[in-house]
Chains A and B, each alone.
Chain A
Amino acid sequence: MGQNGKRVVAVTGNEAVAEAMRQINPDVCAAYPITPATDIMQRFTSFVSNGKVKTEMVLVESEHSAMSACVGASAAGGRVATATSSQGLALMWEILFIASGTRLPIVMSLVNRALSAPLNIHGDHSDGMGARDCGWIQLWSENAQESYDNMIQAFRIAEHMDIRMPAMVCLDGFIISHSIERMEYLDDETVKNFAGEFKTTNPLLDIENPVSYGPLILTDYYMEYRRAHAEVMSKVSKVVLDVAKDFEKISGRKYGLFETYRLEDAEIGLVVLNSAAGTSKDVVDEFRNRGIKAGLLKPRLYRPFPYEEIGEALKHLKAVCVLDRADAFGASYGPLFMDIASGVYPHKNGPLLINKIYGLGGRDYLPEHAETVLAELAEIAKTGKVKTLREYIGVRE
């Protein structure tokens, strides 16, 4: 036991997520195993089997049924969580929209993994990017600590009475899910108090006040429902920041909508999600040591995307490279690039942007990749000329 009841541990990302779920102690979990997320539910079901949580499990026959059961359980009126990855998320896709359209605050950890074909079990962001417009809140995590912290905060955000939307917490498959890191756990009581009691709204189990979930709504009102969804999403940023403030009080760790690293006076910068941010920060330091003003921005709240705030944070740079661990297959730009470009667009004198696709199917992202990209950015900053708008890196051509 460390200071203030914190425990310093050496654990994998999956172990940290399972621990967060144990401490949150949901009423129901429905899940189906898939590499590399399987380990989360294996650990969690051992908590169930040994009476460490009050949770009732639904060990379903597919991810489609996992999310369907989560929808039923959440509508019934209680706290619900699940975990998945890749093909599992793809199979859930239909029901992701139903969970958000029905305003059900389900929390799911998504262990990011490549999509088939060809079959590949390793980390990239194709799965999460494919679900970015499903109406869910998405929090992305660099390491085990952030995965754990984001999981705990996700319940507060999703269940906030102004929001009531499902949230997914993303972490990189294998790179984070299966690597052991040093991190800190909060104590059980602190997490329990932070999460608070689950508040129900129109629970299906209230037999005295029957409600109907899942109506047919045609041309007369469908658009108003979608508009209302958009309105709720516009309130998420504030809640994320409020919850982060409270979380800092119990953990000492600061969270925002995104993280900036040596960005304030930077001239060139990288934008990158999740684990690759760690490697990139080391290389940013090297460039700083050489007197080159490099910096980094790592989005945390990816949906809803804080376009204005990110545009503000990047507008003073001369050149920025957005690194995408997924392609959008439009023979154009990666998904993160398109969002960053939208954020920067209103700033006439904003940075020149380039896009690199890296690390697909778990391909290593090495310091030399970041070095090459930063060197290219330094050249663009000097000459004002972009040679290649978008390309794959670390690939055999």
Chain B
Amino acid sequence: MATPLSLKELSKKELLLTAGHRMCAGCGAPIVVKMALLAAEQPIIAANATGCLEVSTCISEYTAWKIPWIHNAFENAAATLSGVETMYRSLKKQGKIDKKIKFIAFGGDGGTYDIGFQSLSGAMERGHDMLYICYDNGAYMNTGIQRSSATPFGADTTTCPAGSCNPGKLQQRKDLTKIMAAHGIPYVAQASPSHWSDLVKKVKKALAIDGPKFMNVITPCNRGWRSKTDDAVKLSRLGVETCYWPLFEIENGATRVTVKPKEKKPLVDFLKPQGRFKHLFAPENEHLLKQAQDQVDAYWERLLKEEAFAARQE
């Protein structure tokens, strides 16, 4: 029977990513993984791209995973899981397996937006029954905070360091969530660990659908964001409340914003507590702050229009 969606009920479920893993204190990634696995009603097999989550959860001879789990390489979590899922279908067709199993791939933004993009795109196009969850912390954190195509505009990273000539990253983030939606897959969503109920509902919904699904989850990294160790949930909430990280879903092409902030906070509320944006607050960089706010406003307005368009179609 399905677990009712209350923290009390969820807390009775077994955690499938155990304590004792070696993620940094205050990391958002294990929170996201635990929430996703708590949401699952079905047996899950997971694949993991190389990255923080992978290197910290399965250091031989230990594993923090209580479910079958496979790590292959950095850029191929989706392709690897597509092989697992295909073997499942083959053996099921042959009557060698009867259980219903669901498949989740976890990758950071490096393994998803960048080096694993082709593998992800291919797996989604082929229609494998899998949910790909990107824990997006906005840089290559595992190798020491290098720029990725998910790094936000203006951020200071170790490969686009803010200096006297360059004020951090000069480009906007790649809009991967929309790119995945453009694959025409049945379900795409953005979520945040600050909004656990929204995140859990989305994972449940995704797992109930047969076929390829993609979720992008903002995942604070206090090492890379240069923020307080215990601010992961607070910062991801600010991401949502400033509309930097809107919570929405695109189901069969129809966009729905699932959480609308009562009052849209200024972007600086999200940027200020993070050391990676410190340089933007220097007087000479005021125009960059404005540019960043304009980008967020434009995206949010477009999203609301897309939602309104979908509503009219119904």
Report A's interface with B, CB cutoff 8 A: 27-28, 30, 54-62, 64-65, 68-78, 80, 94-95, 98, 204-207, 210-218, 221
Contact = CB atoms under 8 A, between A and B. Distances in A.
Contacts of A70: 83
Contact of B80 (A68, A77, A215): A68
B90 A213 contact: no
Contact of B76 (A58, A68, A212): A68
Interface string B51-85: 00011001111010111111111011001111111
Interface of B: 43, 45, 47-48, 54-55, 58-61, 63, 65-73, 75-76, 79-91, 93-94, 97, 99, 101, 118-119, 121-123, 125-126
Contacts of B59: 215-218
A62 B122 contact: yes
B66 to A, nearest CB: 6
B73 A210 contact: no
Contacts of B72: 68, 71-72, 95, 98, 213-214
A72 B93 contact: no
Tell which of B45, B63, B81, B122 has the most Cβ of chain A within 10 Å. B122
Contact of A72 (B63, B67, B81, B99): B81
A108 B170 CA distance: 45
Given A69-B82, A98-B72, A205-B84, A212 B91 contact: no
Given A64-B119, A221-B61, 6 more contacts: A27-B94, A55-B90, A61-B125, A64-B79, A205-B101, A207-B68
Contacts of B68: 204-207, 210-212
Contacts of B99: 207
A30 B84 contact: no
Contacts of A216: 54-55, 58-60
Contact of B66 (A54, A210, A214): A210
A27 to B, nearest CB: 4
Contacts of B58: 212, 214-216
A65 B76 contact: yes
A288 to B, nearest CB: 51
B179 to A, nearest CB: 15
Contact of A214 (B70, B85, B121, B122): B70
11 contacts: A27-B94, A56-B87, A65-B118, A65-B122, A75-B84, A76-B87, A76-B91, A205-B84, A206-B68, A214-B58, A216-B54
Given A58-B83, A64-B79, A216-B59, A72 B90 contact: no
Contacts of A207: 43, 45, 67-68, 99, 101
B88 A205 contact: yes
B83 A30 contact: yes
Given A54-B94, A56-B86, A205-B97, A72 B73 contact: no
